[in-house]
Structure 1
Amino acid sequence: MENKIIARTLRLLGQLMELHDENPFKVKSIANAAFKIDKLPYPIAGKSLTEMEQIDGLGKSTASKVWALVQTNSIPELSDLLAQTPSGIVEMMRIKGLGPKKIVVIWKELEIENVGELYYACNENRLIEAKGFGLKTQEEIKKAIEFSMASSGRFIYARIEHFAEGLLQELQRQFRTDQVYVVGQYRRRCEIIDSLDILTSYSLTNDIKQLLENAGLNPGSFINNAIECEAEIGIKVNLIFCTSENIGWQKILHTGNNDHVDELALKLVNTDVSGKSEYEIYALAGIPFIEPELREGLNEFPLAAANKLPDLISYTDLKGTLHNHSTWSDGVHSLEEMAVFCRDELKLAYLGICDHSKSAFYANGLNEIRVAAQQREIEELNIKLAPFYIFKGIESDILYDGSLDYSSDVLASFDFVVASVHSILKMTEDKATERLIKAVENPFTTILGHPTGRLLLSRGGYPINHRKVIDACAANNVIIEINANPLRLDLDWRWQQYAIEKGVLLSINPDAHRKEGFYDMHYGTLIARKGGVSRNNCLNAMDLDQIKTLFTKKRS
């Protein structure tokens, strides 16, 4: 066993001892021993217990721990502490800038138990007011987590978008052609991107590797008309070459998943597609053009054959934004700042403010007195900012028994209620489904917020029976949120079409905690397009009068 491994194990022991508030002198002794062992010019594993005890900075107690580690590959005290500590907390200790004191606050006060929850908390600014933290520390932690996530080679769409669009432009410049296209997962707007696939009709030349290096790529070997490259940010980039005459079919071939391409190919047997555009090739197959987002081999071909492909929603279809937070709970900007930004910068007609309810104490949730005060401010702002309109909303916690957070009298004071689960996320499918359905059946629930609580690449959502929950929303006239935060994108696009078939409206909600968070509606729109959502299926594609009527009807 190498000295570095022994030192690393002792450091973990010391951190856990500090985390669990053990004697600070013992903690310091373990930390000092770890430092000493890491710097030894010889392997300590080859020493006897007596020899270990003589090493400066160890002593009998620590030496016995090192001896146990070398002989049994474990330290009893460490095993005991690990058993008392959630695995996600141990993982947090690897994040640069997070020591035991800060982790105690995160774990015990903010009730965050894994890196995924911590990353989302950074996005919601929950760390800013916590003891020992601040905006700068929060941003440093967020960047450290993003770096760690990138090292896995998988990226959420939003993290790769800027790089992908910049790389596309740079390759067009290097190749001196505009026939460079991003295909694959990125073009289908998948929520998780494993690799960037780029198609080009550029003719291969001897200087291709140099051109790719100029574009910031590290090219590998050339196999089957493709070069696999690595980008500095950690994602794999596949560069695929083809002739100009074949570009239409190649775009189809490398955009759709295997099921989609195979089914289309069957419709094109013995058909010459050379020189044809994508639109022309789908026409040759006897079907309308299928948008890239829909090419997943699900129900797109039956819809195309019946001429029922959805007219996919676009960002410009959105007339307002619902489910947002202000400084009344855990937001960065004031209610007026959020409203003015929506009106003047985004040119929207309305804002739905949904600060956290009283059970969300970690997010400065509103008690009944503060609810009334916020509603008075909204009434004043609606006079001041007219015709722009602010709806009185709340993100009401769904409690463990499925009830909502507040009495009926308080819930009745809101224009609309977003009901969401934020606590006790470890549930069986039956319990989670029962909990959501009970909340959906509450007559005050307008929108079901982020239905599974998932955090992409960080935390799987609690398991639910999607069909039962969606059916309950249909029966109770409850809208389902497509949470546009790129870490959530929940409701999952795979269930959006089922909701539409059941007549359930969907709402693209940014869950913004600062002005810049409104821009996440872009990602919500992309994932809604992937789910086959049109403006007719989307709540906040309604104009102000329409949505006022809908909320009034629901409340009555």
Structure 2
Amino acid sequence: MTNSEIVDLLELTGRLMELHDRDAFKTRTFQTAAFNLDKSTADLPNLPVDELVKLQGVGKSIAQKIREIAETGHLSDLDELLAQTPEGVLDMFRIKGLGVKKVRTLWQELGITNLRDLQLAGENGQIAKIKGFGASTQEKILAALEFLQEQQGKVRMDKAAMIANLLHDELATHFERVEVSGQVRRKAQEVDLIQLLIQTNDPVSAMLTLKKLPNLAQNEAESSPFAWRGQLAGFDVQIELLFYPAEQINRQLFIQTATETHLKQAGTGGVPLLQVAYSSVLAEIVDSADVAEVEAAIYERAGLPYIVPEMREDDFAFRWASRHQNEELVTWDDLRGTLHNHSTWSDGKQSVADMAAYCRELGLAYFGIADHSKTASYAGGLDAERVRQQQLEIDALNRGFSTDFRIFKGIESDILGDGSLDYDNETLATFDYVVASVHQTLTMSLEKATTRLLKAIENPYTTILGHPTGRLLLAREGYPIDHRAIIDACAEHNVIIEINASPYRLDIDWHWIEYAMQQGVMLSINPDAHDLVGLLDMHYGVAIGRKGGLTKAMTFNALTLNEMTTYLQQRREKIRM
């Protein structure tokens, strides 16, 4: 069991206790413990009761529950509650805007026990008639249901990679060669099919081997003699395992990675990439173990520039290649620092010192702290006095570093409803930089959202526009914005746009990266890290940046420490003028 798994079980127990109207005090003990432990860095699975009770929000009873979870993998209290709760009622918690009380009302007053009944009740107008709901809530529920249906069977980039790697490692013990292909290799931000290629000259034996693997459930109707299709236990996303002999697997890796639109692209001879890939003229090199050599040869024979796997989506990559070289694309090694991160001063799990130390381990030259601002009280946002205290701590830490590392003083300032920034100008002037983000009142029209962001961009203290649409992939659709107007305004006011590298966000969407670069707007690959591991999310940001054609030259946090220091200093001096 991990910390997050333990916290999830405690949180779910508290939620179901509230749903079933159990003792309010006991319910709060679970909810309080889950809230506090979510930020804890303690090794919860391995702590004894007498150590657990020393943690904030943990009494002896909860400590014993944690030990039960750690030792057995489940909690008897939760098992009892789950047995009394229809599975469909649990699904209702996934609906944006439905808290425990509303779910209980829908269940008890309308007898709704699944999402299908919930949708029918909304379409029939029954929800709007319930006291405390109304037509507006009903409309939002129906919209959220539609969004969830569209996302069904998909997983985020990070989970897709995890599943693909699990499959790869398992299959590699049974087959000579296994390759991750398709959407995962292409670094798609949302994945509905996880595909791997298996090298074999005996597909019948290969299929028998797969049938023996315990966690694979085959969909025989969708499978064929050369393709196993089904699911991995515990995940809804579809799995496809394709069988190819050694002489075909390299070219098939190319074909299966690219989209149909990409493969239709024709080169100087008018022959589409797909046809070239199948051509016999490649016979002399397809046996090569070097996949890159085979793929490069396919593009060369087609008379087209080589396109990296991330960009094999459509014809955009070829337009990009007419102006750029692949060597210009940003890489992890190009990143020199990180600028949007949180610490225990707000809702992060590690101290500023620990986060900075890990950045140094990663070989970065600077760490920017951007904790939440005062309006984000739910996330421990900093008031002006706590800002001052944090900055004193940063000054002390910086005195302990040599000239090759520095902590920058930033803030993630809420963009308020009218587009103004949290804090007065006097406080904003104390920061090295400001990440301006929307966190509250997310239901907006395109005009309202665009106007709100434009005002924030016009504020001279805004350095970086954070997660521009506020989306959460597969969970919450972003508010609509006029991307061109926003990017044009950032160009006019010299504001950087964030690529929020959290796999939950990946916002700004990669489709708008090229336009931003054309307008001269730099992009910052920001992890929005709340713990040490979160800093590694910049890998996802790099992948999405490359998919959109982001170059090192237009990547803000590819600036060296000296370049970043000079840039931020000159920007502050310009504001004072």
Q: Structure 1 stretch 458-467 or stretch 271-280: which is displaced more?
A: 271-280
Please tell me the residue identity of whatever aligns with 1:165: N
Residue 212 of structure 1, aligned match among 192, 195, 210: 210
Distance of aligned partners of 1:469 and 1:65 in 2 relative to their CA distance in 1, 3 Å threshold: closer
Matched residue SS, 1:280:
helix
Once the two structures are TM-superposed, the CA of residue 226 in structure 1 deviates from its matched residue by 1.9
Matched residue SS, 1:189:
coil
Question: TM-score, length-normalised on structure 2?
Answer: 0.70
Q: In structure 1, what is the equivalent of residue 97 of structure 2?
A: none
Is 1:173 aligned with 2:181? no
Asked if structure 2 preserves the Cα contact closer than 8 Å seen for 1:397 and 1:419, the reply is yes
Q: Tell me, in whole angstroms, the C-alpha distance in 2 between the residues paired with 1:248 and 1:257.
A: 16
What does 1:102-501 correspond to in 2, within 5 Å? 152-175=152-175, 177-178=176-177, 180-215=178-213, 216-221=215-220, 222-223=223-224, 225-234=226-235, 235-264=237-266, 266=272, 272-275=280-283, 276=286, 277-305=294-322, 308-309=325-326, 311-343=328-360, 345-387=361-403, 388-501=405-518
Q: In structure 2, what is the equivalent of residue 83 of structure 1?
A: 133
Please tell me the residue identity of whatever aligns with 1:369: E
Q: In angstroms, what is the RMSD of aligned CA positions?
A: 3.6
Once the two structures are TM-superposed, the CA of residue 347 in structure 1 deviates from its matched residue by 2.4
Structure 1: unaligned runs, 5 residues or longer = 1-11, 22-34, 39-62, 92-112, 116-147
Once the two structures are TM-superposed, the CA of residue 64 in structure 1 deviates from its matched residue by 12
Please tell me the residue identity of whatever aligns with 2:509: D
Is 1:539 aligned with 2:556? yes
Asked if structure 1 preserves the Cα contact closer than 8 Å seen for 2:203 and 2:226, the reply is no
Distance of aligned partners of 1:76 and 1:88 in 2 relative to their CA distance in 1, 3 Å threshold: closer
Structure 2: unaligned runs, 5 residues or longer = 1-14, 25-80, 85-107, 112-116, 287-293
Distance of aligned partners of 1:238 and 1:267 in 2 relative to their CA distance in 1, 3 Å threshold: closer
Please tell me the residue identity of whatever aligns with 2:389: A
Matched residue SS, 1:456:
coil
Q: Tell me, in whole angstroms, the C-alpha distance in 2 between the residues paired with 1:415 and 1:204.
A: 62
Distance of aligned partners of 1:358 and 1:75 in 2 relative to their CA distance in 1, 3 Å threshold: closer
Question: TM-score, length-normalised on structure 1?
Answer: 0.73
- Percent identical: 43
Matched residue SS, 2:242:
strand
Asked if structure 2 preserves the Cα contact closer than 8 Å seen for 1:287 and 1:305, the reply is no
Once the two structures are TM-superposed, the CA of residue 210 in structure 1 deviates from its matched residue by 3.0
Please tell me the residue identity of whatever aligns with 1:256: A
Asked if structure 2 preserves the Cα contact closer than 8 Å seen for 1:326 and 1:335, the reply is yes
Asked if structure 2 preserves the Cα contact closer than 8 Å seen for 1:273 and 1:281, the reply is no
Once the two structures are TM-superposed, the CA of residue 77 in structure 1 deviates from its matched residue by 10
Q: Tell me, in whole angstroms, the C-alpha distance in 1 between the residues paired with 2:110 and 2:500.
A: 49
Q: Tell me, in whole angstroms, the C-alpha distance in 2 between the residues paired with 1:114 and 1:355.
A: 30
Matched residue SS, 1:324:
coil
Once the two structures are TM-superposed, the CA of residue 223 in structure 1 deviates from its matched residue by 2.6
Please tell me the residue identity of whatever aligns with 1:169: D
Q: Which has the larger radius of gyration?
A: 1
Q: In structure 1, what is the equivalent of residue 31 of structure 2?
A: none
Asked if structure 2 preserves the Cα contact closer than 8 Å seen for 1:328 and 1:355, the reply is yes
CA shift digits 1:46-101 (9 cap, x unpaired): xxxxxxxxxxxxxxxxx9999xx9xx99998995147259579999xxxxxxxxxx
Asked if structure 2 preserves the Cα contact closer than 8 Å seen for 1:17 and 1:81, the reply is no
